[in-house]
Amino acid sequence: MRDVPEEVLRKLAGLYNQAKKKPSAPDGPLPIWIRNINEMDKIELEHETRDTIRTCKELKRKFGIMQHEGEKYVQGRTRREQMIEDIRREWSLQSYYLYSLFLRSGVETSEDEFDEFIKEETGNKGFITNLKIKY
């Protein structure tokens, strides 16, 4: 097990604030759940990883539904586009959280390699994880 670098935790906090539509200060305090990543033991890490992969799969499913059949569920185009954008923000947060968990477990991987992994795990090679975005 390894500690997740501070820069990764800060980026995760930025993605969290963006997904929750909160103002973000780059040097502000990290949320407790982000600070606790480096305190996770192996069992907690395994559970969080499994849950996060499941969440990513669910978000990918929702994204596909909204893109292809969204007009059935949400009549207003603007509202539908907003929901798709919210799903994308949540996707970025969850996929980067999963990347952080992998780093904590000791897996040495780059953001590019992880992009390929998450595309495989969620069953959609065309979906972009946006890990390279700077926050």
Query: Residue 32: which residues within 8 A CB-CB, separation 6 or more?
Result: none
pLDDT tens digits, residue range 44-82?
Answer: 999 999 999 899 889 888 888 888 887 777 777 788 888
Average pLDDT, the chain: 83
Higher pLDDT, 107 or 23: 107
Residue 54 near residue 97, CB atoms below 8 Å = no
Residue 134 has pLDDT above 50, yes or no: no
Q: How far is CA 60 from CA 27, 46, 105, 108, in A?
A: 31, 21, 24, 25
pLDDT tens digits, residue range 82-103?
Answer: 888 899 899 889 989 999 999 9
Q: How far is CA 104 from CA 14, 37, 48, 97, 98, in A?
A: 19, 7, 11, 10, 10
Tell the burial category of 67 from Cβ atoms under 10 Å away from its Cβ (0-12, 13-18, 19+): exposed
Residue 28 near residue 46, CB atoms below 8 Å = no
pTM to 2 decimal places: 0.83
Query: Sign of the C-alpha dihedral, residues 49, 131, 11, 107?
Result: positive
